[in-house]
């Protein structure tokens, strides 16, 4: 079943109520560092959010024509600067075997978990970088 927006919102509201009752302060802030082409059209970037002193990089993507130019490093550096500004203790993300694990490791991320599965998709890696 594919939930519609109202169904998704109903589940999210139940989670918000539970969380509000369980913790003293809701702390969820989004972050985006976007890359646009010459016409101003967004063609890639980094999407993240912080919650309770952790910074989750949800996705980072660039078109093939912009890879290998240091833009991904710039995006990750912007995210780390923002995470530090928000007093986050760590950053975390996940990536599949066919994606960018070596890139993240070059930027100080370490694997803390792994899920096995069939190639070429798996394994799936969970990485973190301590900021404290």
pLDDT of 80 above 90: yes
Residue 10 forms part of a structural domain? no
Q: Is residue 18 part of a domain?
A: no
Mean pLDDT over all residues of the chain?
A: 94
Q: How many domains does the chain have?
A: 1
**Residue 13 lies inside a defined structural domain of this protein:** no
> Is residue 7 included in any domain, yes or no?
no
Find, among 22, 20, 83, the residue nearest to 48 by Cα.
83
Range of the domain at 85: 25-130
Q: Cα angle at 39 between 32 and 99, to 5 degrees?
A: 45
Instruction: Give CA–CA dist 111/95, Å, rounded.
Output: 10
What digits encode the pLDDT tens for the residues 31-47? 999 999 999 999 999 99
CATH number of 76's domain? 3.40.630.30
Q: What is the pLDDT of residues 56-77, one digit of tens each?
A: 999 999 999 999 999 999 999 9
Number of DSSP helices (H) and strands (E) in the chain, helices first = 3, 6
pLDDT score of 15: 86
Using a cut of 0.85, tell me whether the model's pTM lies above it.
yes
Q: Is the confidence at residue 82, as pLDDT, over 90?
A: yes
């Amino acid at each position: 079943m594919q939930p519609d927006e109202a169904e998704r919102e109903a589940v999210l509201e139940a989670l918000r109520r539970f969380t509000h009752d369980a913790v003293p302060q809701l702390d969820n802030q989004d972050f985006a560092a976007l890359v646009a082409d010459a016409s101003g059209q967004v063609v890639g970037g980094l999407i993240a959010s912080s919650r309770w002193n952790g910074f989750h990089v949800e996705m980072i993507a660039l078109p093939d024509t912009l890879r290998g130019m240091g833009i991904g490093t710039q995006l990750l550096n912007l995210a780390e600067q923002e995470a530090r500004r928000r007093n986050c203790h760590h950053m975390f993300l996940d990536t599949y075997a066919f994606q960018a694990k070596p890139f993240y490791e070059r930027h100080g991320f370490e694997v803390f978990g792994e899920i096995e599965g069939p190639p070429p998709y798996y394994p799936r890696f969970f990485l973190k970088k301590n900021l404290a």
